Structures are given as C-alpha cells and as structure tokens.
C-alpha cells in the first residue's frame, strides 16, 4: 500500500512538474532553430538573361537545359535606385552589396559611398574567393563584386581595386587594363605577382594546360580586351568554371565564394541578334552543368543562377520552331521585367518567391550564416 502511494505520488509529482515547466517555458527558448548552412556559394549571373532568352536557348538545345535540374525557382525585381530600367553596374551592386544605387555605380551607394560586398565579407570570414567572366574582368558585373568606383567606365581604377582585394582567383578578359595603364603609367601585373598571384593568359598558354598544383593565387587573362563571342570560337567558360570551383575548394576549411558570369547574352540582346543570344545561353548552360555536377558531389555548395536584368525585350515569335527560333525585340537596351532565380543546395529554399535584387545579397549572407555575425560598417570612402 505504502509503495503504491509513493509511486502514485511520484507520478503526480512528475506530471505537476512537467506541467509547471511547460507553463513557465511555453515556447522553446535557447533551442537553436535548425539551419543548414552552405559552406560554399557559387553565384552564376547570365547578363541580360530573361525568361525569353532561357526559353529560346532551351528549345534550340533540343528542349533541354541544365537549368531544369534546379529545384527552387524565384523571381527578382531588377530596378535601380534612379531608374526603373537598370544597367549592369547598378544591378550587380544590388546583388553584391545589397543596396539600390544609380546606373553606372560600381560597389557604391546612391551617394557614391563604398559599400562592403559579399566577396569582401567572405574574405573576412576566411573564405576563399573568385571571379570568372566572359567579358573583361573589370566590366560592370564582375567589377561590382570587387571594386568601389563611382563610374563603371573607370576600368583602370577598377583594375587597381584588385590589388586592394584578398581575391584568390580571377579569369576573364581585359589584360590591357592591368598591363600598361594610361592612368597609372605602368603595369600593375608585377604588383599582382608580389601579392602572390601566378599570372598567366591566352597569349602564353591555354587554360587547360596551366599547372595549378602549387599555385595559391591565380589570375588568367582570356583576352587583352573583350573576349570573342562563343559563336566565333570562345569556349573557356565551362572549363574555367570548374577549374575555379576545384581551385577554391582546395586548401579551404571555411569554404569559398565564387561569382561566374555569362557576360555576352546581354551583348546578343543589345545587337538584337537571336543566334548570338542562343549560343551564349547554351555556353552559359554548359558551365551551369559543370557547376551543378560539382555541387551534387560536394553537398555543401549553394548554387544560384540568375540574371542582372533582361536585354532586348526578347520574344519567341510565331512561326518559330525549335531549330529555327524567330526572335523579336522591343528594344536594343535593357527592359524592366523581372528575371528568374534558380537555386540548388543548402539554403536554396530561401530563393523561392518574389523579391528585390538586393534580397539576393541578404539571402546569400543567410545561407552562409553571415547574418549571425554583425555586418561591418561601410568601408572607408577613398
Ligand atoms: Mg555583365
Ligand atoms: Zn547590357
């Protein structure tokens, strides 16, 4: 009898205790929410790649693109601070730095003050970083991820900003802006080498022949000026993309941030040249295929594919067939329609829905866990 009473007392006590605890703590404080962070982020920007360009590229490619392998799709609003129709500088600054700014701004806000970008934050957190493009590497899109200049046309000043950066790899055109500088009067390539860069280029050796075994920092120039279109022989983007991902993954405990741009889809739009658009979308998609395969194997990499804006108001007109797309254009400049965002990997779910281009910056920080640390102040204006 006594034993039963004790057990009963214990049960009642336990129940009461549990109840009290639940009343005191109705929710779950101190229990960390389950967030799976990405170790690496690879951001791929198809310049001027709207839904029309993607669709046409897909039909022309036998009704298939690697883009179809992305489970999450969203839409972003591309408008600039001072203009509903953005240019590539303002939109790249929005994505890289998280601020709406004026057209032609490179990594600066509407008052021309420098704003820290995602690549600089990644460096501060110990990640390795890289940029790959099929334009010059000082062109607006890659420039916004490394430089802080009031005008996109300040190419040599943008090249100088590479010296101030902790970047580990860059591959693209525009060697002339580093080589003999009109503004500075001498080449800054020796200074890159002093910073530990192995500098090479198409004039010396093919990208696939470069031995990277003991290379710590790598710069490769694919052209002296702008690289040629893929239709006339440029084919380095898929190879450069996978070389960059493997290079940055090597020797890093913290992870890496890599931006890859298919730069010339935009140039096809400006030229109102359907064939130019199709071949550039397909080239960019081959790079996407390489990166998606890398991420599937790696399992710690978030891959985001988007555009900075649409170019040309490109449409697929009646009488088009898969093997002969009849493109039509409303403009030889950019348009204001939203552009898609595709995401794969840890943190991908953050990218569904409709949001501003500046939100991509916030979402990348969230995926990497940078929002758990405070963002540093604006870097000092020069
Ligand atoms: Mg661009
Ligand atoms: Zn453009």
pLDDT digits (tens, 9 = 90+) for 308-321: 999 999 999 999 99
CA distances from 166 to 120, 147, 170, 195, 260 (A): 8, 12, 11, 9, 17
Phi and psi for 324 in degrees, rounded to 5? Answer: -150, 85
108 C-alpha to center of ligand 2: Å? 19
135 C-alpha to center of ligand 1: Å? 7
With a cut of 50, say whether residue 376 has pLDDT above it: yes
Q: Which residues of 109-147 are buried (b: 16+ CB within 10 A; e: fewer)?
A: beeeebbbbbbbbbbeeebbbbbbbbbbbbbbbbbbbbb
Tell me the per-residue pLDDT of 159-197, one tens digit each, with 9 for 90 and over: 999 999 999 999 999 999 999 777 778 899 999 999 999
With a cut of 80, say whether residue 121 has pLDDT above it: yes
Averaged pLDDT score across all residues of the chain: 91
With a cut of 80, say whether residue 1 has pLDDT above it: no
335 C-alpha to center of ligand 2: Å? 10
96 C-alpha to center of ligand 1: Å? 13
Tell me the per-residue pLDDT of 246-265, one tens digit each, with 9 for 90 and over: 999 998 889 999 999 999 99
For the record, the structure tokens of 139 come out as 């062109």
Answer with the residue of higher pLDDT: 82 or 6: 82
139 C-alpha to center of ligand 2: Å? 11
Residue 14 has what pLDDT? 46
Q: Which ligand is nearest to the CA of 311?
A: 2
328, 56 in Cβ contact below 8 A? no
Residue positions counted in the chain: 382
Alpha-helical runs (H) found in the chain: 2-24, 51-60, 88-97, 118-124, 140-143, 155-164, 189-194, 237-249, 265-270, 274-298, 358-368
Q: What number is the average pLDDT over the span 123-148?
A: 98
322 C-alpha to center of ligand 2: Å? 26
333 C-alpha to center of ligand 2: Å? 6
Q: Which ligand is nearest to the CA of 270?
A: 2
- Among candidates 97, 57, 64, 94, which has minimal Cα distance to 79? 94
With a cut of 60, say whether residue 146 has pLDDT above it: yes
- CA angle at residue 373 from 369 to 377, to 5 degrees? 125
295 C-alpha to center of ligand 1: Å? 24
Residue 99 gets which letter from DSSP? -
With a cut of 50, say whether residue 18 has pLDDT above it: no
- Spatial neighbors of 277 by CB under 8 A, at least 6 apart, are 53, 56, 57, 265, 268, 269, 312, 314, 327
Tell me the per-residue pLDDT of 336-348, one tens digit each, with 9 for 90 and over: 999 999 999 999 9
Catalytically annotated residues: 88
- Among candidates 265, 263, 270, 266, which has minimal Cα distance to 333? 270
Tell me the per-residue pLDDT of 285-314, one tens digit each, with 9 for 90 and over: 999 999 999 999 999 999 999 999 999 999
Q: Which fold has domain 34-265+284-374?
A: Alkaline Phosphatase, subunit A (3.40.720)
Domain coordinates in residue numbering, the chain? 34-265+284-374
Q: Write out the residues surrounding ion ligand 2, Cβ under 5 A.
A: 266
With a cut of 70, say whether residue 3 has pLDDT above it: no
Residue 380 has what pLDDT? 39
Answer with the residue of higher pLDDT: 16 or 52: 52
164 C-alpha to center of ligand 1: Å? 22
The DSSP H or E segment spanning 313 is none
User: The whole model's pTM is what?
Assistant: 0.90
Q: Which ligand is nearest to the CA of 152?
A: 1
Q: Which ligand is nearest to the CA of 261?
A: 1
338, 73 in Cβ contact below 8 A? no
For the record, the structure tokens of 15 come out as 């129940």
Ordered DSSP codes for 325-346: --EE-S-SSEE---EEEEEEST
Q: Which ligand is nearest to the CA of 139?
A: 1
73 C-alpha to center of ligand 2: Å? 23
4 C-alpha to center of ligand 1: Å? 79
Residue 182 has what pLDDT? 74
Ordered DSSP codes for 121-189: HHHHTT-EEEEEEEEETTSHHHHTTT--BS-TT-HHHHHHHHHHS---EEEEE-GGGTSS-TTTSS-SH
Q: Which ligand is nearest to the CA of 91?
A: 1
């Amino acid at each position: 009898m006594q034993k039963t009473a004790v057990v009963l007392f214990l049960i009642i006590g336990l129940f009461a205790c549990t109840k009290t605890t639940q009343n005191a703590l109705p929710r779950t404080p101190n229990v960390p929410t389950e967030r799976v962070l990405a170790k690496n982020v690879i951001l791929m920007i198809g310049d001027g790649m709207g839904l029309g360009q993607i669709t046409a590229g897909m039909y022309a490619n036998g009704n298939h693109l690697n883009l179809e392998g992305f489970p999450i799709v969203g839409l972003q609003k591309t408008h600039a601070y001072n203009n509903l129709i953005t240019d590539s500088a303002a939109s790249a600054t929005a994505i890289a730095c998280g601020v709406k700014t004026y057209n032609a701004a490179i990594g600066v806000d509407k008052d021309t003050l420098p704003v820290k970008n995602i690549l600089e934050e990644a460096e501060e957190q110990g990640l390795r970083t890289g940029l790959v493009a099929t334009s010059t590497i000082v062109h607006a899109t890659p420039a916004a991820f490394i430089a802080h200049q009031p005008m996109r046309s300040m190419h040599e000043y943008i090249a100088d900003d590479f010296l101030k950066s902790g970047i580990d790899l860059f591959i693209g055109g525009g060697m002339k802006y580093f080589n003999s500088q009109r503004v500075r009067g001498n080449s800054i390539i020796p200074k890159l080498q002093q910073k530990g860069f192995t500098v090479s280029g198409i004039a010396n050796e093919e990208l696939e022949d470069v031995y990277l075994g003991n290379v710590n920092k790598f710069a490769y120039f694919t052209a002296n000026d702008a690289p040629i279109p893929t239709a006339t022989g440029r084919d380095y983007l898929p190879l450069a993309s996978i070389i960059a991902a493997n290079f940055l993954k090597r020797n890093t405990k913290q992870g890496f941030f890599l931006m890859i741009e298919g730069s010339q889809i935009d140039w096809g739009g400006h030229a109102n040249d359907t064939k130019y658009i199709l071949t550039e979308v397909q080239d960019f998609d081959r790079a996407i295929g390489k990166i998606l395969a890398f991420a599937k194997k790696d399992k710690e990499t978030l891959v985001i594919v988007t555009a900075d804006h649409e170019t040309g108001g490109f449409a697929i007109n009646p009488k088009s067939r898969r093997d002969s797309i009849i493109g039509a254009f409303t403009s030889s400049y950019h348009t204001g329609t939203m552009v898609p965002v595709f995401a794969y990997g840890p943190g991908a779910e953050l990218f569904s829905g409709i949001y501003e281009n500046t939100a991509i910056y916030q979402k990348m920080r969230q995926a990497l866990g940078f929002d758990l640390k405070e963002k540093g102040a604006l870097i000092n204006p020069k």
